[in-house]
Structure 1
């Protein structure tokens, strides 16, 4: 029982991300957002979205 309690205390003290991990995670999220923006702002994707919206609304967009 005492070893389980000591394990829980040690685990609780080591939960969460450190500042360096937050920085790496933020950088990765920004890079993923930039790639997604480039893909979605491309001409082919824009044309496909216009076509889908036009067909859904029954208008020529």
Structure 2
């Protein structure tokens, strides 16, 4: 029985590396977005926006 040995192509594994880079980039973006949205200024802005929306003009 004969076994064939294939030498790896230069781009073998590049898809896995691309997925890893994208995953790290998405995680970093999510961390920045979470930090921005949970900051005091954004929370107060959203609270005032909701209060204005719920206020009935007289």
TM-score by length of 1: 0.66
> How many equivalent pairs are there?
43
Q: Deviation above 6 Å: which 4+ runs of structure 1?
A: none
Higher share in helix: 1
TM-score by length of 2: 0.69
Q: Structure 1, unaligned stretches of length 5 or more? A: 1-16
Instruction: State which structure, 1 or 2, has the greater radius of gyration over its C-alpha atoms.
Output: 2
Q: Structure 2, unaligned stretches of length 5 or more? A: 1-13
- The higher-RCO structure (CA 8 Å, 6+ apart) is 1
